[in-house]
Amino acid sequence: MDMELRHIALTALCQDSWLEKASLLDQVLPDTSVDTARTFVPSLVIPGRPVLNIVPPAELKQRTVHTREGRAVLIHALAHIEFNAINLALDVVWRFAGMPEVFYREWMIVAQEESLHFNLLNVHLQSLGYQYGDFPTHDGLWDMAERTKDDPLARLALVPRTLEARGLDASPQVRHKLASGGDPRGAAIIDIILRDEIGHVAVGNFWYRWLCTQRGLDPVRTFSELARQYSAPVLKGPFNFEARRAAGFEDDELKALGQPY
């Protein structure tokens, strides 16, 4: 197998199972070579993932976390987010050529950490008597990835800094739900994910601003323009300002949260 980092990322992205993805991610080492200029053509359909029942978000039913099934539905939804997050990080690595080498190494680390998050949630889901794929889910994260596949600036602005950053806002409420519903293990997993996701969003913030500098663009104005162009959802509070600041959002960006683009 070609052991160049970006080729590994594409190969892992095409795998349907988490175990296959994780096995490939485990082969990435600090000294794995990176070809920053190489371009690829996928030989398989992406993203690779198990067979899922994908439905519109409006069709997903809310269930109480005070039942085992209700807790499993929530854990399943979180596991789906993390599986998507693995694929999103891998997609950034193989798709966008011409970035500095450290860009690809940082996003591969993100993919590895998202894989660990999925494993934590998947094991917990199994302890509740269910498997990933047992419940319907939606495809909002990957839909935005498809829309932004031709421009790394748009991808960074609207996936890690917008859709994935929503997880920073949602984590306190989700943690409380699980804890109050009698699921301390689930709550503890949320603590781990929030800690790591602050770093992942920070990576997105850094490289978004780096690209803005390279293109001579104002980051705040450009974000609003991209959000309008790609029909990004207007974010709704409550917002986790502490986590967002830790992830590198600046005061003018925080003040704009919840406002029309």
Segment 90-111, tens digit of pLDDT: 999 999 999 999 999 999 999 9
Q: What CATH architecture does domain 5-33+65-255 belong to? A: Up-down Bundle (1.20)
Q: What percentage of the chain has pLDDT greater than the value 90? A: 90
Residue 194 pLDDT more than 80?
yes
Six-digit token pair at 80?
């789906």
Six-digit token pair at 64?
């109480």
b vs e for 49-59, b when ≥16 Cβ sit within 10 Å of the residue's Cβ?
beebeeeeeee
Average pLDDT across the chain, whole number: 95
pLDDT category at 200 given cuts 50, 70, 90 is very high
Identify the pLDDT of residue 59. Answer: 84
Domain ranges of the chain: 5-33+65-255
Residue with tokens 């990004």: 232
Six-digit token pair at 167?
């997880």
Identify the pLDDT of residue 45. Answer: 84
Q: Which of 40-54, 208-222, 232-246 has the lowest mean pLDDT?
A: 40-54
Instruction: Read off the pLDDT of residues 3-62 as tens digits, 9 standing for 90 and up.
Output: 999 999 999 999 999 999 999 999 999 999 999 999 999 888 899 999 999 998 888 888
Q: Please name the amino acid found at residue 178.
A: L
- Is the distance from CB of 124 to CB of 39 less than 8 angstroms? no
Rounded CA-CA distance 187/180 in Å is: 9
DSSP element (H, E) containing 201: helix 184-215
* Average pLDDT over every residue of 65-84: 96
Identify the pLDDT of residue 201. Answer: 98
- Is the distance from CB of 87 to CB of 142 less than 8 angstroms? yes
Identify the pLDDT of residue 217. Answer: 98
Q: Is 54 helix (H, G, I), strand (E, B) or coil?
A: strand
Residue 2 pLDDT more than 90?
no
DSSP of 24-47: HHTT--TT----TT-----SS-SS
* Average pLDDT over every residue of 248-258: 94
* Cβ neighbours of residue 225 closer than 8 Å, sequence gap 6 or more: none
Q: Minimal CA–CA distance to 141: which of 75, 92, 174, 105?
A: 92
Identify the pLDDT of residue 62. Answer: 82
What pTM was computed for the model? 0.96
Identify the pLDDT of residue 44. Answer: 83
Residue 79 pLDDT more than 80?
yes
- Is the distance from CB of 159 to CB of 144 less than 8 angstroms? yes
Identify the pLDDT of residue 99. Answer: 98
Query: Phi/psi of residue 137, each to 5°?
Result: -150, 170
**Rounded (5°) CA angle 104-108-113:** 150
Output the CA torsion 47→111→122→164 (10° steps). Answer: -80
Identify the pLDDT of residue 1. Answer: 63
68-95 vs 101-127: helix crossing angle, rounded to 10: 160
